[in-house]
Structure 1
Amino acid sequence: MSMIRVTDLTFGYDGSYDNIFEDVSFQIDTDWKLGFTGRNGRGKTTFLNLLLGKYEYRGHISANVGFEYFPFPVPHPENNTLDVIEAIYPDYVHWELMRELTLLKIGEDTLYRPFDSLSNGEQTKVLLAALFLKENRFLLIDEPTNHLDMAGRKLVSDYLRGKSGFILVSHDRAFLDNCVDHILSINKTNIEIQKGNFSEWWENKERQDNFELAENDKLKKDIKRLSEAAKRTSHWSDEVEKTKNGTRNSGSKVDKGYVGHKAAKMMKRSKSMEQRQHSAIDEKSKLLKNIESAESLKIAQLPYHKNQLVELENVSIYYGDKTVCEGVGFTIEQGDRISLTGKNGSGKSSIIKLICGADIRYSGTCRIGSQLKISYVSQDTSHLRGNLTDYAVEHGIDESLFKAILRKLDFSRLQFEKDMSAFSGGQKKKVLIAKSLCEQVHLHIWDEPLNFIDVVSRMQIEELLLEHQPTILFVEHDREFVENIATKTVTL
């Protein structure tokens, strides 16, 4: 066991107005299974890069272990998988490698196939197995779930639960709950570490937030009461002071010493109340700093003139000589929230593209309602560049509504001035979702919309879909999201 110590860490990118980290200090035990959470753009990947020594910073990071970052590029993916593993860790022992691959349900024959012929999920598992063979290394695992289907996520989560010595960035609640024993969270104003899994951390956070909100309400009432009392006391002391030069009781002379003493006493009381008021204001300013704003979103879906929007009957899809899927049949009716599930490569994205009108070779029947308007969110965000204003104009959506939704999804106003190509993966995905929410359509089709998106935003999107109950077909591997949202499940 050793410690990674972070002391007075301060870092900001060149040209940035604000530091991402400011005098941050904490310690990490290298035996922990550490889940790393925080809203998009808060600096999770930046912090991992600081551990790797990629940027200059103020403060100190000390560790007695080396760091390995996942995922990393494979320079020669055309090589056999075994050669790729040997390049990562030349000193591997074959039986130890087979032990790790067996835990991840990867057969030995995979080692003798070109690495680039493996599915994204298989590549993820192979690279994790190779990295965990290394000794005295602390793994920085950055969003491994994005290329894993639901079964793959459960398998990798079980695998990580049997390991230790890693930081895991993930926004999948069930995945984190299954395999971590501590949570490192980047909040609005600090970084904190708590023992337990994600759900335990979230429960503690909600409890703390509710306490701060209650204290905030109490302090607001105290400030109002003290302010009014201070005004009254100040007014009384002024009135008493005036009587110094007046008369008391049937024209007799005023005892100026008595009146002055009384006025001074009232003034002192007023000053005391003022100090208590300032103290309450100071106390109030310490509250609510880390409460995440998660305002509700809105969706205004157009009604369709028929109950049935889409019908697929015995549909098979082909790419060249390969059959991607076959015998698929289901209908989409108004109010359906359909989860399209299946292993990677089972044809989910192909079915979605067919419904959206893509030129795909297929057999069977695909009936799309006449004049049906569809809003599509794709997995790919690489095309996003330029500014948000031009993007809104290009897609014919209301710019103010578009930006209001992004604000609710935790975009800062400063973010609006940046080129979209500089956004984080989660921020780019939020742009696509915000655009979709602005579009006047009958049906929403979202293909893995939550990739890279932070947990708080996922909860907002869940609440939106449950409150407004739009008709939606979606592919998503976040088990908790699917269980909460889907009214029907179609499995390929």
Structure 2
Amino acid sequence: MLQISDGQKRFGHKLLFEGANWLITPDERTGLVGGNGTGKSTLLKVIAGFDSLDGGTMQRSKGLTIGYLPQDGLALSGRTVFEECLSVFHAVQSMELEMETLSTKLAELDPVSTEYAAAADRFSEVSDTLHTHDLYNLDAQVGAVLGGLGFSKEDWARRTEEFSGGWQMRIALAKLLLEKPALLLLDEPTNHLDLETRNWLEDYLRNYPRAFILISHDRYFLDVTVNKITEVWNKRLHFYTGGYEKFVKQKDERRTQLMSAYKNQKDRIEQLEAFISRFRAQATKAKQVQSRIKELEKIERIEVPEEEETIHFSFPQPPVSGRTVCEVTNLSKSYGEKQVLSNVNFTIERGDRIALVGPNGAGKSTLIRMLSLLEEPTSGTVRHGHNVQSDYFAQDQYKVLDPNAKMLDDISSSAPRVATTDLRNLLGAFLFSGDDVFKQLGVLSGGERNRYAMARMLVSPANFVLLDEPTNHLDLRAKDVLLDAIRAFTGTVLFVSHDRYFIDGLATRVFEVEHGGVQVFPGNYEDYLWRKQGGPEAIVQSLKPTPPPIVSVPTSAPAANVKRLNPIKLKQLQDRLIFTENEMPRIEEQITQHETDLSTFRSAEESQRLSNAIAELRAKHEALMHEWEEISIALEEQTV
């Protein structure tokens, strides 16, 4: 379908890659990865035809259609959202008129004439195209894609220029998905998507009937959509089978092999150079010396790129807060007639790592601002516990930075006890290296300043950290640094993120914000999805055998009808059983502690608060006990 042979590309004087050979097939499902500045986006532009190679060749199949989505910069105007998306079918709609013309022509022509044969061939070609695009179902196709990407029906009639840059990119993505090019090229397609739309796009790409190549810094997204990884590394293209996790393992093995080959070559070169140096002046050894000089000249030197330094950074541990960090009671928030949140109640305990999830516009950012005490509720209360110090990281945190301050000076003033070397390593993990650290903050882009603001917060955190989209503008390396730092943090964290890998690696509870309420789920995002899909009740229900026909059945027959779980689902049940067994004693301890506190009267309000907390904990304990019983039964049936 498309082939690059001995491709080479430079960016100014910098060589991005050379000797690139890539055969892109009709079933290509590839993730393009590599460090920042290695040329991933440039390579995608070359394949799309928006840039050219400096050396080598690229050949395309005749009639190959390519769709390309850049990271940003697209602006649409002049039509409604629905009209803009429907415009991709203009050529198909024109074919409908051509088909009517061909039908009339076929009725008039002599069936044995060459004109008739040509018209019949074209009729068949047009008919196949219309069938492929499902001509009479175009409106439904547009509606399905727009709905999947988060556009409400009210949005369909709005003009495209009314939408922000992120939503404009969603419209552009919708057009590409509807167009279904033979080769789809997506550069960071999840940058402007929330979790729900990412999940929808994952399913869409899994079922995409044609080829696609995508760049993404979302590990989970890569793992569930691609079956091959192409890495730009050491100025070459390297190919790996499988998703991102398999790529990481295979890359470690490949680097080990490379280092072994490099060491062997280095030893051989040293041997040759030592022989030449020792016997160069001896006439009797001239032939052997010349032979070794020629061998030395023919050796193609193995280059080992500098390994990126692994950054390990730990939060300075904050002062300990009270057990209850934040208590929300009957919280409501409205803007004029628009009700965002209504009668919300929950408690955040010390050490919680809570992920806020929900569709865009559900009220996640509003809730997190109220929890940080930066915004007042319309009614109800948000009460911080004893010795709680909160710190809030906003999506546009860069706006509060001093534009005249130099980066290294600014971060050093925030953490006077942290060594300059450690600060520079941390900044390097967030893609600021060399002279970048001496730049004034005002000259950085919005994304760069947000990255810096996140690094700055890591060096002096409070004991209750609230993060709104902390992984935006971070690459895989910086995300890992942030994830490891928060895992080791002894304080309490509440965060909004659209990165599945980040949420699964961090969250101990998930708060779902939707329809004006907040629903609490224990565990990480996988646990949350599992419970949303029915949890243990759904699995136990699926294990029940269908009613047997009215015939004589042996006593052991029901066991034979038990549905066997696949290993993944079985492991989920086993893990969930362990979680419930560990969680119930913890809740029992909390109940005991609250009951002890209740025995000492402090105030009517405090007594009421403790009574409500005890009731909530007992309900949670009862639900866990019920879940534990059902899972235990389900697992016992699997052993029969």
TM norm structure 2 = 0.58
1:98 alignment partner, one of 125, 140, 143: 140
Q: Does 1:114 align with 2:181?
A: no
Deviations 1:286-309 (A, max 9, x none): 475375433312211311353333
Deviations 1:9-52 (A, max 9, x none): 22214xxx634445544333354122122234443333333444
| Matched residue, 1:258 | none
| Higher RCO, Cα 8 Å, sep 6+ | 1
Partner Cα distance (2:51, 2:404) in 1: 27
| Matched residue, 1:443 | 464
1:145 alignment partner, one of 182, 187, 190: 190
**CA separation of 1:85/1:370 partners in 2, compared to 1, >3 Å: closer, same or farther?**
same
Contact 2:321-2:350 at 8 Å conserved across structures: no
Partner Cα distance (2:26, 2:403) in 1: 42
1:294 alignment partner, one of 289, 303, 310: 310
2:488 alignment partner, one of 463, 467, 486: 467
Deviations 1:80-125 (A, max 9, x none): 2222224455335451452364367559956842155789998766
| Matched residue, 1:75 | 76
Partner Cα distance (2:143, 2:443) in 1: 37
Contact 1:336-1:471 at 8 Å conserved across structures: yes
| Matched residue, 2:2 | 3
> Per the alignment, in what secondary structure is the counterpart of residue 478 of structure 2?
helix
Contact 1:36-1:184 at 8 Å conserved across structures: yes
Deviations 1:315-341 (A, max 9, x none): 122222211122333333332211112
**CA separation of 1:319/1:395 partners in 2, compared to 1, >3 Å: closer, same or farther?**
farther
Partner Cα distance (1:214, 1:49) in 2: 35
1:322 alignment partner, one of 328, 338, 349: 338
| Matched residue, 2:42 | 46
> Per the alignment, in what secondary structure is the counterpart of residue 145 of structure 1?
coil
> Per the alignment, in what secondary structure is the counterpart of residue 318 of structure 2?
coil
Partner Cα distance (1:312, 1:462) in 2: 27
User: Aligned ranges for residues 3-402 of structure 1 at < 5 Å?
Assistant: 3-5=2-4, 7-13=6-12, 18-22=14-18, 24-54=20-50, 58-59=54-55, 60-64=57-61, 65-70=64-69, 73-76=74-77, 79-92=79-92, 93=135, 95-96=137-138, 98-99=140-141, 101-102=143-144, 105-106=147-148, 109=153, 112-114=156-158, 127-134=172-179, 136=181, 138-163=183-208, 164-210=210-256, 286=302, 289=305, 291-369=307-385, 372-380=388-396, 383=399, 389-390=406-407, 392-393=409-410, 396-398=413-415, 400=420, 401-402=422-423
Partner Cα distance (1:159, 1:405) in 2: 37
Per residue, is there more helix in 1 or in 2? 2
In the TM superposition, residue 159 of structure 1 has moved relative to its aligned partner by 0.4
> Per the alignment, in what secondary structure is the counterpart of residue 153 of structure 1?
helix
**CA separation of 1:459/1:154 partners in 2, compared to 1, >3 Å: closer, same or farther?**
same
Partner Cα distance (2:388, 2:77) in 1: 46
In the TM superposition, residue 190 of structure 1 has moved relative to its aligned partner by 2.9
Contact 1:35-1:176 at 8 Å conserved across structures: yes
User: Which moved further from structure 2: 426-435 or 295-304?
Assistant: 426-435
Partner Cα distance (2:16, 2:89) in 1: 34
Partner Cα distance (1:165, 1:97) in 2: 24
Partner Cα distance (2:389, 2:167) in 1: 37
**CA separation of 1:382/1:408 partners in 2, compared to 1, >3 Å: closer, same or farther?**
closer
Partner Cα distance (2:213, 2:139) in 1: 22
Partner Cα distance (2:50, 2:325) in 1: 51
Partner Cα distance (2:193, 2:305) in 1: 35
Q: Does 1:458 align with 2:479?
A: yes
In the TM superposition, residue 206 of structure 1 has moved relative to its aligned partner by 2.8
Partner Cα distance (1:86, 1:76) in 2: 14
**CA separation of 1:428/1:39 partners in 2, compared to 1, >3 Å: closer, same or farther?**
farther
Per residue, is there more strand in 1 or in 2? 1
Contact 1:294-1:409 at 8 Å conserved across structures: no
**CA separation of 1:24/1:157 partners in 2, compared to 1, >3 Å: closer, same or farther?**
same
**CA separation of 1:293/1:211 partners in 2, compared to 1, >3 Å: closer, same or farther?**
farther
Partner Cα distance (2:373, 2:5) in 1: 53
| Matched residue, 2:117 | none
Contact 1:97-1:129 at 8 Å conserved across structures: no
Number of aligned residues: 438
| Matched residue, 1:480 | 501
Q: Name the amino acid aligned to 2:28.
A: W
**CA separation of 1:351/1:120 partners in 2, compared to 1, >3 Å: closer, same or farther?**
farther
| Matched residue, 2:549 | none
| Matched residue, 1:252 | none
Deviations 1:373-409 (A, max 9, x none): 4333322377589688347528942493443202234
Q: Name the amino acid aligned to 2:483.
A: E
Partner Cα distance (1:387, 1:190) in 2: 40
Q: Name the amino acid aligned to 1:436.
A: M
Partner Cα distance (2:353, 2:310) in 1: 23
User: Which moved further from structure 2: 462-471 or 445-454?
Assistant: 462-471
Partner Cα distance (2:187, 2:312) in 1: 29
**CA separation of 1:396/1:367 partners in 2, compared to 1, >3 Å: closer, same or farther?**
farther
Deviations 1:195-254 (A, max 9, x none): 3222222221133345556788x879x97xx99xx9xxxxxx9xxxxxxxxxxxxxxxxx
| Matched residue, 1:242 | none
| Aligned-pair Cα RMSD in Å | 4.2
Structure 1: state its 5+ residue gaps: 231-236, 238-263
